[in-house]
Amino acid sequence: MTAVAGRIETGNLIGGEYRPSETGRTFESRNPAHSGDVVGVFPRSSASDVNAAVATARAASVGWRRTPWPSRAAIILRAAELLEERKEDLARLMTREMGKVLTEARGDVQEAIDMGKFIAGEGRRAFGETVPSELRDKWAMTMRQPFGVVGCVTPWNFPIAIPSWKIFPAIMAGNAVVFKPAQDTPACALRFVEVFADAGLPPGILNIVFGFGSEAGSALVEHPDIAAVYFTGGVDVGRTVSETCGRMLKKCSLELGGKNAIVVLDDADIELAVDGALWGAFGTAGQRCTASSRLIVERGALDEFTSRLLDRTSRLRLGDGLDETVDVGPVINESQLRRIHSYTDIGRADGATLLIGGEIARDGALAEGWFYPPTVFADVTRSMRIAQEEIFGPTTVIMPATSLDDALDVANSTRYGLSLSVYTNDLRKAFRAIHELHSGIVYVNAPTIGAEIQLPFGGTRDTGNGHREAGGHVLDEFSEWKSIYIDYSGRLQRAQIDTE
Residues forming the active site: 255, 289
Q: Give the integer Cα–Cα distance in Å for 332 and 31.
A: 8
Q: Give the integer Cα–Cα distance in Å for 124 and 127.
A: 8
- C-alpha 172 chain-centroid distance: 19
Stretch in the footprint of ligand NAP (CB under 6 A) among 7-15, 213-221, 442-450, 485-493 = 213-221
**10 Å Cβ neighbour count for 487?**
15
Q: Give the integer Cα–Cα distance in Å for 433 and 441.
A: 12
Stretch in the footprint of Mg ion (CB under 5 A) among 48-56, 57-65, 179-187, 471-479 = 179-187
Q: Give the integer Cα–Cα distance in Å for 281 and 341.
A: 16
CB 301 within 8 A of CB 268: yes
Q: Give the integer Cα–Cα distance in Å for 176 and 63.
A: 10
Q: Is 26 in the site for Mg ion (CB under 5 A)?
A: no
Q: CB of 229: closest distance to ligand NAP in angstroms? A: 9
CB 367 within 8 A of CB 262: no
Stretch in the footprint of ligand NAP (CB under 6 A) among 20-28, 61-69, 226-234, 381-389 = 226-234
Q: Is 214 in the site for ligand NAP (CB under 6 A)?
A: yes
Q: Considering the complex, state which of residue 260 and residue 424 has its C-beta at the smaller distance from ligand NAP.
A: 260
Q: Is 184 in the site for Mg ion (CB under 5 A)?
A: yes
Options 213, 286, 373, 374; binder of ligand NAP; rule CB under 6 A: 213
Q: Is 441 in the site for ligand NAP (CB under 6 A)?
A: no
Q: Considering the complex, state which of residue 253 and residue 344 has its C-beta at the smaller distance from ligand NAP.
A: 253
Q: Is 241 in the site for ligand NAP (CB under 6 A)?
A: yes
Q: Is 368 in the site for Mg ion (CB under 5 A)?
A: no
Q: Considering the complex, state which of residue 164 and residue 463 has its C-beta at the smaller distance from ligand NAP.
A: 463
Residue 380-409 contact track with ligand NAP, rule CB under 6 A, x = bound: ----------x-x-----------------
Q: Is 151 in the site for ligand NAP (CB under 6 A)?
A: no
Helix (H/G/I), strand (E/B), else coil: 294:
strand
Q: Is 183 in the site for ligand NAP (CB under 6 A)?
A: yes
Q: Angle at CA 303, nearest 5°, toward 297 and 308?
A: 95
**10 Å Cβ neighbour count for 323?**
15
**10 Å Cβ neighbour count for 191?**
20
Q: 255: which strand partners?
A: 232, 464
Residue 257's binding partner, choosing from ligand NAP, Mg ion, none, with beta-carbon cut-off 5 to 8 A by kind? ligand NAP
Would you put residue 351 in left (φ > 0), alpha (ψ -120 to 50) or beta?
A: left
- Interacting residues toward Mg ion by CB under 5 A: 29-30, 184
Residues in contact with ligand NAP by the rule CB under 6 A: 153-158, 180, 182-184, 212-214, 217-218, 221, 232-234, 237, 240-241, 255-258, 289, 390, 392, 418, 463
